[in-house]
Amino acid sequence: MKKKVTLAYALRRRIKNLAHSRGYSMNKFAIRCGVPYSTLSSFLNGRCSSISISTLYRICDGFGITMKKFFEDETFENLVDDWDEDPKSKKNLMIEDVE
């Protein structure tokens, strides 16, 4: 049974998986993609609930992939809409089972 996840959770998971598969530390990757370490770390650790499209573009460029390729992953297959949630209370974790 697959889990529904928020977009923020899926983005974090995809970035972490790509970095791990390429052997990048977060510090090394932040330098590689030109995104401040504090920005990357804040998002990946859940202290920040979103990133800009331009930051995501830089992240994809750092991995050497297009944004299209970034989103062509099963991580994004079962997203749940979290638009109406209070951003201060979001933990962006898996939310519910999908039947």
Of 64, 81, 59, nearest in space to 14 by CA: 59
Q: What is the CATH number of the domain that holds 63?
A: 1.10.260.40
Q: Which range of residues forms the domain containing residue 90?
A: 3-97
Of 35, 3, 95, nearest in space to 44 by CA: 35
**pLDDT of 49:** 85
Of 54, 62, 49, 66, nearest in space to 9 by CA: 49
> What burial letters (b/e) apply to 40-59, b meaning 16+ CB within 10 Å?
beebbeeeebebeeebbebb
Q: 10-66: per-residue pLDDT in tens?
A: 999 999 999 999 999 999 999 999 999 999 999 999 999 889 999 999 999 999 999
Number of structural domains, the chain?
Answer: 1
Q: 85-97: per-residue pLDDT in tens?
A: 555 544 444 444 4
Tell me, yes or no, if the pTM score tops 0.85: no
